[in-house]
Amino acid sequence: MQVSAVEGHRLWAASYDATRNPLLALEDRVLADLQGLSVVDVACGTGRWTARLGANVIGVDLCAEMLAQAARKPGLPGRLLLADAGSLPIAGGVADLTLCSFAVGYFPSLDRAVAELARITRPGGRVVIGDMHPASVAAGWARSFRVDGSAYEMRHFGYSAADILHAAHLAGLELESQRDACFGPPEEPLFREAGKAMPDVPAVWIGRWRKP
């Protein structure tokens, strides 16, 4: 069954953290060096990154059920906002690091959302965007999950890496690096547990920018 991103995450929220997801594991490995004095985690979901990036972190998400799960994590109550990424209720130039993980593919206006990521980042700060790699989407991977025996697939927009890079350029961000991340030995046990072969196409795309 196909559902909107908000509806899908509403259904998935209660079991999201219990799911051993190799995509998240790969991103965790690739972004292990993330840090910032003041961080905004946009589309934070259940607070996977919000909970580990220090005390001065704000998490923002459009799904109340995901935020309810995030609020169960130590230190996160009072640091979570229900809001749209395209209209963030956050002052400009406050974040040393603005992170958006596995979410840009759900934004109806990529340019608007990336402009907001740039707006809330201070000059000299960083913006980091990670998402499912376009090559994996082209290979047939779905943004899907199962709850109570039912399978759901979330509607998304087919943005390419070039689309994201262009949106960041329009927002005035300077590209520092981009990476096509593939699964490796650390993720292999997750595929063995699921009885699946580990794919050899790029799985996660990561872009890092500096705000001048």
Phi-psi region of 211 (alpha: psi -120 to 50; beta: other; left: phi over 0): beta
The owner of tokens 């025996």 is: 149
Q: What pLDDT is attached to residue 70? A: 97
Lookup: tokens for 192: 């063995």
Query: Mean pLDDT over all residues of the chain?
Result: 95
> What pTM was computed for the model?
0.95
pLDDT, tens digit, 9 for 90 and up, residues 9-20: 999 999 999 888
Q: Which domains does the chain have, with CATH numbers?
A: 2-210 (3.40.50.150)
Contacts for 123 with CB less than 8 Å, ≥ 6 apart: 93, 211, 212
pLDDT, tens digit, 9 for 90 and up, residues 138-189: 888 888 889 998 999 999 998 999 999 999 999 999 999 999 999 999 999 9
From residue 127, alpha-carbon distances to 39, 118, 176, 195 in Å are 10, 7, 10, 36
